[in-house]
Amino acid sequence: MLLGTHVLLPVNLALMVDLPRIRHGNTPLFSGGGLLAIGIFGALPDLCSPHVSLDARHASLSHTCLFLGLLIFILAALTSFLHKGQRLRLAAACWLASFLHLAADAVSGGIPWLHPWSEDILGTFYIDPLWWIPSDIVFVVIGSSLLLIRRRWLHAPPRPHQDLPSPSPH
């Protein structure tokens, strides 16, 4: 998969979780900076070891379970300065973003999930590379739409609660 999908798949999921909360007048789970962090962590495996060929991805440590395990400790350190209620939420979302990256790559050529202990490749080309650019375009359109809705709902006046009509005394 390409970088657009890796960045926007987790961001779009975070927005889809947040939008119902925002619509009902609650504060968002993720700030704009949190959404940015989620997107960066969605791209992180490729940022840590850029690759053009599938062989380079298969030799990469950033596309392994070891990487995901180390990422837990890195995220714990990076989020330790946040408010206690936000730490776990943002760390979990960022870790999930990197996990989704590996899952997407597993179905688009495979990943060396147990490297360096094993050369086994998990996955194959279930998604043809011809679909990678259309996938990026779809995620950009969805993400742009969700961000516009989020912005509109965050800046909208609060919706009055509508009481249900009382039953007639017949």
How many CB atoms lie under 10 A from the CB of residue 63? 28
| Residue 136 resides in a domain | yes
| Residue 125 resides in a domain | yes
Nearest to 117 by CA among 61, 57, 39, 44: 61
| Residue 49 resides in a domain | yes
* pLDDT above 90 for 157: no
| Residue 142 resides in a domain | yes
Mapped onto helix, strand or coil, the DSSP state of residue 108 is strand
What average pLDDT does the segment 72-90 reach? 92
| Residue 34 resides in a domain | yes
| Residue 76 resides in a domain | yes
Rg (CA), the chain: 20
Contact 14, 93 (CB under 8 A): yes
In which band, very low, low, confident or very high, does the pLDDT at 80 lie, cut at 50, 70 and 90?
very high
Residue identified by tokens 């791209």 is 43
- Report the number of distinct structural domains present in the chain: 1
Task: Provide the pLDDT for residue 150.
Answer: 97
User: Which are the contacts of 113, defined by CB distance < 8 A and separation ≥ 6?
Assistant: 63, 64, 65, 102, 106, 120, 121, 122
In which band, very low, low, confident or very high, does the pLDDT at 163 lie, cut at 50, 70 and 90?
low
Q: pLDDT tens, 127-152?
A: 999 999 999 999 999 999 999 999 99
| Residue 160 resides in a domain | no
In which band, very low, low, confident or very high, does the pLDDT at 85 lie, cut at 50, 70 and 90?
confident
What average pLDDT does the segment 28-41 reach? 96
| Residue 162 resides in a domain | no
User: Which are the contacts of 111, defined by CB distance < 8 A and separation ≥ 6?
Assistant: 57, 58, 63, 64, 102, 105, 121, 122, 123
In which band, very low, low, confident or very high, does the pLDDT at 162 lie, cut at 50, 70 and 90?
low
Write out the residue range of the structural domain in which residue 90 sits. 3-154
* pLDDT above 90 for 167: no
